[in-house]
Amino acid sequence: MPDPTPDNRVETTFHADEGGTLMVMRMNLPDQATRAAMLESGMEHGMEASYVRLEQTLSRGG
């Protein structure tokens, strides 16, 4: 990833979904090369792991 991180915009929406909430995140990046660099960094795996932990915490009520 370039340093500093390229300009980006993240839009997060929440939707009712079968007794829960579906969170959708859409990231807008300046170009395809930036997108490729971000994906090559493995960031989606770290984000996914963080959201799994958040879901587990919320399901326990804490």
Write out the chain's pLDDT in tens, 62 residues. Answer: 556 777 889 999 999 999 888 989 999 999 999 889 888 888 889 989 998 999 899 888 75
DSSP letter, residue 11? E
What count of other Cβ atoms lies within 10 Å of the Cβ of residue 55? 13
> How far apart (Å, rounded) are the C-alpha atoms in residues 15 and 6?
29
> How far apart (Å, rounded) are the C-alpha atoms in residues 23 and 15?
7
Instruction: Copy the structure tokens of residue 34.
Output: 């930036």
What integer pLDDT is reported at residue 19 of this predicted model?
A: 87
What count of other Cβ atoms lies within 10 Å of the Cβ of residue 12? 9
- Please report where in the chains the tokens 């996914």 appear, as a residue: 48
